[in-house]
Structure 1
Amino acid sequence: MKALDRKLLRDLLRMRGQVLAIVLIVTCGMANLVTMMSTHGSLQLTQATYYDQYRFADVFVQLKRAPKSLVSRFEEIPGVGAVQTRVVQDVTLSVEGLAEPATGRLIAIPEQPTPMLNDLFIRAGRYPEQGDEVLASEVFVKANQLELNDTVGAILNGRWQTLRIVGIALSPEYIYEIRGTEIVPDNKRFGILWMQQKALATAFDMEGAFNDVSLKLMPGASEAEVIFQLDQQLETYGGLGAFGRKDQISHTFISDEIRQLSAHAVFVPSIFLGIAAFLLNLLLSRLVSTQRDQIAVMKAFGYDNLTVGLHYLKLVMVVVLLGAVLGAGLGWWMGRGMTRLYSDFYHFPLLQYEVRPQVLLTALLVSTGAATLGAFLAVRRAVSLPPAEAMRPEPPTTYRPTLVEKLGLQRWFAAPSRIILRNLERRPVQALLSVVGIAVAIAILVLGRFFTDAMGALVDIQFRTIQREDITLVFNNPLSNRAQFDLYNLPGVLRAEPFRVVPARLRFDHYHKLSGINGVEPGGELRRLLDRAQRPVTLPPEGIVLSTKLADILQAHLGDQITVEILEGARPTRAVPVTGIFDELVGISAYMDIHALNRLMREGFTLSGAYLQVDAHEQQTLYAQLKKTPAVASVAMRQTTIDQFNEILTKSMAGFTIVLVGFASVIAFGVVYNAARIALSERERELATLRIIGFTKGEIAFILLGEQAVLLTLAIPIGFALGFGLAALMTEIYDWELFRFPLVITRSTYAFAFVVIMAAALASGLMIRHQLNRLDLIAVLKTRE
């Protein structure tokens, strides 16, 4: 072993506590980087492979009814590579063991297995051979504990039919299996069933017709042009507006998740590696300062500047490599866990987790680059020291009166307190960086709990304050006002508030968006319109009220006239004034007074469904009747949605919070311990002198640790503010069309961050106090010759 390498080993052993703290921080940054990048890559590759192998479509459209003779016209549209027409129908299901009615989406498939768009992967069982046999989605089967050859009851066009499950399947169209009206999956009460084309068409009087189209585009085709021509051809057949893959709900969810992972892969590791670079700079600066004479001797023995610089850079590389190895292993383990978690929400034939070599290489280069950048100034200082100057002790600091002394306030402080204030004021940059490091740790703790706070607030605001109904009924077709009175004849219905939902394309200038216009009763008690501040939103007798997100998409403002193209009934096109814009958390909705919407449609009082308040004692009887009611297309229970939200919160956020808390604790401990340890090494002579002249061990511990306590006190409010800012940034990142996070941070989150940071500070303080008690006064006070 070379002499410089032996010296490096001795330095590492002597500073093992500080080195270990920095290694742990590098490990955290490396683990985050590997976890996020590998999970992102695995999820993205799995998605792309699945889409390609099972021919996921590019353009989709639902309609009322059209003849199959239109297929040839669709194929003639420039850019269209393949066309798939089918019958798709939502029906009410009765599942054994499930008291509530479920909703099944029946999708027609060819009588014989044939390659098609949105093709099926059959996990178990076989392809349907008879009209009453179906394939069921895997997640629906698992949620209801169904098995092959089990049956479910279904109302098909007013007729009761028993359907036998002969196979379990997956489709790229339903990787995230959810109804378009929901924001969380309810796999027990919503499932996909694939049925033979002939049997399903016959049941719904759709022989020779279809009500759903999927298109695959050729490379380089214009999606917008294809959508335009498709809408033109389907306008007379009740087309509900074609849309591209980016607006397909399953694809939207998983693509947003992939983009989020990509953002996290940059954002979170940057914090850890930045802190590691800062600590390495402190460590090497102090090492160079204490080894001035050794640097001089090395140069006197003929070591050139490059060799000396590389010697100190080796220390950085050792720290980085140790952190990289530990971080790669931890990142691999965390990535596997995150992939397993994603498999609970996103359903692929195989979600294979892998860490590609380029991921590890990128993570290593980033970690090495950050550490080298942090150590650069200290290494340059070591290289630039001339031997003659390095042989002399470092010149003493020029002392000046502190601010406290200038103001004449020193008499209010005891001698140890004045020493603390004097040292902080004379090293402002070092103190500031320590404060920033601790504040970042606190901010990460706040951020880790923010997601739980935000999800809890979202559930509370949306599903307890805004949505106060027990059940939401949606009818197969719009019904007259008589249906509102009929609802009160159902068992246990205490209150029924009608609503009207109309599919429409909203336009303003050259912006447009497919959306639904929700007509609700003004002043309704079961479904209220509230903004983020929970202020009531009043629906005017005329005009339309937009959510802030929808208004942003359309670039529309209060008072603007937007064009509403109704995609139902007579399909009128109207200019409607924007009479209100409010900030809601869920969806991108447009609202009108239900009577104004009926007038816009030029129809009498018509409703698409109703919000129901139900006597809890009559719920089971009501569910049994709804299962047999042909007019009901779907039934949604508010409490079920709340339970699903809480389950997702428990699954996804618990582990995420634990990881962030652990990593933030590492940062807190690393920053506080390194700052205190460096302060001890810089002031050993001063503290030893104070001991010699009569200061007790407790008093010198107060001087050293009191300085860290002041830094911690300054960092706590800054960390809280920084955490709030990061949470605000997250609300911008998670500004999705489906839902938005409210900016809510509870007192318990701040208290939690405070307790964790104090525990980390206490642990590092105890370690420093132990080292102070073992201080060798004679060795420290020896004067350099």
Structure 2
Amino acid sequence: MVGPLDRKLLRDLWRMKGQALAIAVVMALGVMLQVMMSGLVSSLEETRRGYYERYRFAEVFAPVVRAPERLLDRIAALEGVNAVEGRVSGLALLDLPGHAVPVQAQALSLPHGDAPALNAIRLEAGRLFERGHPEEAVLLESFAAAHGLRPGDHLAATMNGARFDFRITGLARSPEFLYAAAPGEMVPDDARFGVLWLSPEAMAAAFDMEGAFNEALVGLARGAGAPGVIEALDRLLAPWGAAGAYDRADQFSNRFVSEEIAGLKDSATTIPPIFMAVAAFLLNIVIARMVQAEREEIGLLKAFGYRSGEIGAHYLKLVLVIALTGAALGCLFGIAAGRGMVQVYLAYFKFPFLVFRLEPAAFALGTLVSVAAAAAGGAVVLRRVFRLQPAEAMRPPAPPDYAFAGRWKGLTRWLDQPSRMVLRRFTRTPFRMAGAVVGITCGMALSVGMLTIHAGFDRAIMLSFDVMDRSDVAVTFTHAVSDKTLLELARHPGIERVEGVRHVAVILRNGRQSHRGSITGLPPEPALTRALTPALHPIAMREDGLVLSTALAAKLGLEVGQDLTVDVREGAQPLLQLPVVGVSDTVLGAPAYMALAGLNRALGEPGRVSGAALRIDTADAEEIFAWLKGMPVVAGVSLKAEARGAFRKLMDEGAGWTRFVMAAVAFVITFGIVYNAARIALAERAHDLASLRVIGFSRGEAAYVLLGELGLVTLLALPLGAGLGAALSYLLAAAYSSEIYTVPVVFRATTFGNAALVVIAGAVISGLLVKRDVDRADLVATLKTRD
């Protein structure tokens, strides 16, 4: 049976349905972010784990120059090794019809017959190559889709200076290439990098590896640690040109998948709580003011004999209905948004499948925060009201002291009566008005923070491809060649400027901190590929030390003047001690720079380059690309324009894509905060506004008293929201940044202006909606005294 208080609850909910729904939606959006992002982290981690296990993704990789196959038995006998597979790996240039720029590819051997012990592939179409048919190949499915290639098509490739013609027999995915980017690049692009799986015979013939391998794949026994196996592998393979074994954490694809998941996890633990905190604060204010507005009804209920506990349970039900509705909507929105984001990640990473996985803890946390915030908002005011006797509670609260308002007398004599009413409202209830200001300030801060992040992403692209990299084309050589190759490039018609670079694989160590990457050797004063200070001033390269990126210096815990250990992983593999002579502000990756001559001297290999940055005349571009395609030492050619497009795609998908979702959520929350402030003010002043109409005020004048209050609150919140938003921007930028890219904090006048417009637009729309209710109000019903 429905009791009187429950019927009152239903009437109250219907009466405030618009405001209750607005509060529920604000709470729902905060819960939605928590559910969506927590679910995505769990989905990516579980799918990756299952994919790796099913296709036996190696746990240790050991590249060598050339090692005999008989060593595989000795590797298998090492303590901690469960499985081993030797293979041949090499670079290839693919010649695609209608594509002037040669496309880089990775060529890998794959055993015949049974599936390989490690790094199996998943066929998506066609079949594997057959024994005795070295001209057959399996192609990476995403690359084939980008170029419209199918089983049965032919593909021309240049490997180790020789040209081959392959027939595609199948299309495949691999856990090794969830994140596929060309060697020397960090940004994936399906159209600019492919993978070819060939028979062992074909790879051995192309790279002179009969009876040998140049990479060992190792699976670990249960409970075995990678460091011990890596140390044993390095000792065993040292006579054969070992480049240093490394575990799965440093494997290129897995490293960036892990970075993406870690970035999403950081965002999931940082950003949703910010949004939920703002929503919870709003709900707290709304509930507290709503209960205060029910003061006379509470007194009447106590006069009829209802105990404080019964009345408290009634209002607790009210806030629980609103909070639980918001939490339920948030969970549903989060599931729908998570399933939509799964499709984005399925295209971003090359998983064969990705199912959104619900995270129960996210549901529980969202519901708990919603309920706790709602209950806290009402409990404080109810406790104060319950102390009153029924007769005292049924009377309006004593008017505040107007002595403070008298101090405004010099100003108020220049204002009309409605304006004085607005100002008096602020002097009468300063704490209540401060709560409204803080609420709108939080909404403004969310908008400023998200707009700043959008500007930061745009600036990251501009810095990377317009300021730091001023070349048109990047050329990668098959190995470190003589710098006389640069003279050959410079003499070719259409090539206006050439700068040699050298990338050397290293492990940088500072105590327990380490980083597997490379050192980039540049000319003393580079013009095409530059290192810059945070003030965007060029940094001259020095031969006596390294210039580290800001991200790398922070990761290794280094400052200018400190030394670090450089473990070179190619050539003679010297162990160097080099000082940090500068710190560069970078956006893409975590590079380390050094003067080219100094780097070559430290390696004992003077006059060597592994690539070149070119500035070309676009009129001669096709002829230049055709010429580069025929050079035996060229392993790859990359256009900056294409790299820029790939970087834009990278930043607009994956974790970066969530900024669009959260920007929309920020704007909706901002509007919800402003609208609720207006609705609360109307609920508190409905009787006063009706009285004004009765004594002769027009509809416009009566509405002005209410809307003037909203306008003044909004005006005060704008500068406070701008300041809070600026502080919030640094937190959001840190959450979005990763080792792949760094999001700079960029403050623009348009950012604050657009955020202010969002708040002002929300105030105008809310004001119009509230004014409509004021104009439609039944004066007699509003002025009636509740019996």
Q: TM-score, normalised by structure 1?
A: 0.94
* CA gap 1:690/1:276 in 2 versus in 1, 3 angstroms: same
C-alpha distance in structure 2 between counterparts of 1:400 and 1:73, whole Å: 92
Asked if 1:134 is matched to 2:127, the reply is no
Q: Structure 2: 5+ residue runs without aligned partners?
A: none
Q: How does 1:637-716 map to 2 (within 5 A)?
A: 637-649=639-651, 656=658, 659-716=661-718
Aligned position for 2:64: 63
Aligned position for 1:633: 635
C-alpha distance in structure 1 between counterparts of 2:675 and 2:506, whole Å: 61
What is the SS of the residue equivalent to 1:730? helix
Instruction: Name which of structure 1's ranges 274-283 and 217-226 shifts more when overlaid on structure 2.
Output: 274-283
Aligned position for 1:186: 189
What is the SS of the residue equivalent to 2:403? coil
* CA gap 1:273/1:594 in 2 versus in 1, 3 angstroms: closer
Aligned position for 2:460: 458
* CA gap 1:258/1:545 in 2 versus in 1, 3 angstroms: closer
Aligned position for 2:623: 621
What is the SS of the residue equivalent to 2:440? helix
Q: Structure 1: 5+ residue runs without aligned partners?
A: none
* CA gap 1:651/1:735 in 2 versus in 1, 3 angstroms: closer
* CA gap 1:440/1:250 in 2 versus in 1, 3 angstroms: farther
Instruction: Name which of structure 1's ranges 339-348 and 393-402 shifts more when overlaid on structure 2.
Output: 393-402
C-alpha distance in structure 1 between counterparts of 2:418 and 2:485, whole Å: 82
C-alpha distance in structure 1 between counterparts of 2:288 and 2:613, whole Å: 68
Aligned position for 1:525: 527
C-alpha distance in structure 1 between counterparts of 2:237 and 2:728, whole Å: 47
Aligned position for 1:265: 268
C-alpha distance in structure 2 between counterparts of 1:40 and 1:186, whole Å: 23
Aligned position for 2:241: 238
Which residue identity lines up with residue 101 of structure 2 in the other structure? E
C-alpha distance in structure 1 between counterparts of 2:347 and 2:759, whole Å: 34
Asked if 1:103 is matched to 2:104, the reply is yes
* CA gap 1:447/1:275 in 2 versus in 1, 3 angstroms: closer
Q: How does 1:288-327 map to 2 (within 5 A)?
A: 288-327=291-330
Aligned position for 2:158: 155
C-alpha distance in structure 2 between counterparts of 1:363 and 1:450, whole Å: 27
CA drift at 1:471? 1.0
Which residue identity lines up with residue 147 of structure 2 in the other structure? N
CA drift at 1:741? 1.1
C-alpha distance in structure 1 between counterparts of 2:98 and 2:404, whole Å: 77
Aligned position for 2:232: 229
* CA gap 1:375/1:165 in 2 versus in 1, 3 angstroms: farther
Aligned position for 2:119: 118
Q: TM-score, normalised by structure 2?
A: 0.93
What is the SS of the residue equivalent to 1:477? strand
Aligned position for 2:504: 502
What is the SS of the residue equivalent to 2:84? strand
Which residue identity lines up with residue 72 of structure 1 in the other structure? D
* CA gap 1:584/1:279 in 2 versus in 1, 3 angstroms: closer
* CA gap 1:783/1:336 in 2 versus in 1, 3 angstroms: closer
Post-superposition Cα deviations, 1:85-140, rounded to whole Å, max 9, x if no partner, equal 21111111112232210011001110223242222111111111121211111110
* CA gap 1:37/1:756 in 2 versus in 1, 3 angstroms: same
C-alpha distance in structure 1 between counterparts of 2:378 and 2:62, whole Å: 58
* CA gap 1:745/1:191 in 2 versus in 1, 3 angstroms: farther
Instruction: Name which of structure 1's ranges 376-385 and 99-108 shifts more when overlaid on structure 2.
Output: 376-385
C-alpha distance in structure 2 between counterparts of 1:183 and 1:95, whole Å: 23
CA drift at 1:464? 1.2
Post-superposition Cα deviations, 1:230-252, rounded to whole Å, max 9, x if no partner, equal 33333333322322222222222
C-alpha distance in structure 1 between counterparts of 2:38 and 2:558, whole Å: 38
CA contact (8 A) 1:89 1:107 kept: yes
Aligned residues, how many?
784
What is the SS of the residue equivalent to 1:402? helix
Which residue identity lines up with residue 102 of structure 2 in the other structure? P
CA drift at 1:404? 7.3
C-alpha distance in structure 2 between counterparts of 1:443 and 1:474, whole Å: 46
CA drift at 1:41? 2.2
C-alpha distance in structure 1 between counterparts of 2:272 and 2:331, whole Å: 13
Which residue identity lines up with residue 49 of structure 1 in the other structure? G
* CA gap 1:716/1:236 in 2 versus in 1, 3 angstroms: farther
CA drift at 1:714? 1.8
Aligned position for 1:254: 257
CA contact (8 A) 2:63 2:243 kept: yes
CA drift at 1:257? 2.4
* CA gap 1:655/1:51 in 2 versus in 1, 3 angstroms: closer
Asked if 1:355 is matched to 2:358, the reply is yes
Q: 2:214 aligns with which of 211, 233, 246?
A: 211
Aligned position for 2:49: 48
Aligned position for 2:607: 605
C-alpha distance in structure 2 between counterparts of 1:704 and 1:251, whole Å: 58
CA contact (8 A) 1:231 1:241 kept: yes
Which residue identity lines up with residue 701 of structure 2 in the other structure? E
C-alpha distance in structure 1 between counterparts of 2:268 and 2:221, whole Å: 33
What is the SS of the residue equivalent to 2:722? helix
Post-superposition Cα deviations, 1:748-779, rounded to whole Å, max 9, x if no partner, equal 33332222222211111011112222344444
CA contact (8 A) 1:284 1:379 kept: no
Which residue identity lines up with residue 205 of structure 2 in the other structure? T
* CA gap 1:183/1:533 in 2 versus in 1, 3 angstroms: farther
* CA gap 1:293/1:602 in 2 versus in 1, 3 angstroms: closer
C-alpha distance in structure 2 between counterparts of 1:244 and 1:380, whole Å: 60
C-alpha distance in structure 2 between counterparts of 1:428 and 1:137, whole Å: 66
Instruction: Name which of structure 1's ranges 352-361 and 523-532 shifts more when overlaid on structure 2.
Output: 352-361
Aligned position for 1:83: 84
Aligned sequence identity (%): 39
Post-superposition Cα deviations, 1:588-634, rounded to whole Å, max 9, x if no partner, equal 22221111112112223111111111111111122222223221111
Q: How does 1:269-284 map to 2 (within 5 A)?
A: 269-284=272-287
What is the SS of the residue equivalent to 1:141? helix
CA contact (8 A) 2:490 2:496 kept: yes
Which residue identity lines up with residue 492 of structure 1 in the other structure? G
What is the SS of the residue equivalent to 1:315? helix
CA drift at 1:674? 2.0
Which residue identity lines up with residue 240 of structure 1 in the other structure? A
Q: How does 1:463-542 map to 2 (within 5 A)?
A: 463-542=465-544
Aligned position for 1:721: 723
Aligned position for 1:548: 550
C-alpha distance in structure 1 between counterparts of 2:742 and 2:759, whole Å: 30
C-alpha distance in structure 1 between counterparts of 2:114 and 2:443, whole Å: 57
CA drift at 1:315? 1.3
* CA gap 1:510/1:284 in 2 versus in 1, 3 angstroms: closer
What is the SS of the residue equivalent to 1:529? coil
* CA gap 1:493/1:288 in 2 versus in 1, 3 angstroms: closer
What is the SS of the residue equivalent to 2:407? helix
Post-superposition Cα deviations, 1:143-170, rounded to whole Å, max 9, x if no partner, equal 1111111121111221110112111111
What is the SS of the residue equivalent to 2:558? coil
CA contact (8 A) 1:677 1:768 kept: yes
Instruction: Name which of structure 1's ranges 726-735 and 49-58 shifts more when overlaid on structure 2.
Output: 726-735
C-alpha distance in structure 2 between counterparts of 1:338 and 1:438, whole Å: 30
CA RMSD of aligned residues (A): 2.6
C-alpha distance in structure 2 between counterparts of 1:393 and 1:141, whole Å: 78
What is the SS of the residue equivalent to 1:630? coil
Instruction: Name which of structure 1's ranges 369-378 and 431-440 shifts more when overlaid on structure 2.
Output: 369-378
Aligned position for 2:203: 200
Aligned position for 2:27: 26
CA drift at 1:454? 1.8
CA drift at 1:358? 6.0
CA contact (8 A) 1:280 1:316 kept: no
C-alpha distance in structure 1 between counterparts of 2:508 and 2:321, whole Å: 60
Which residue identity lines up with residue 3 of structure 1 in the other structure? P
Which residue identity lines up with residue 69 of structure 2 in the other structure? K
Which residue identity lines up with residue 252 of structure 1 in the other structure? R
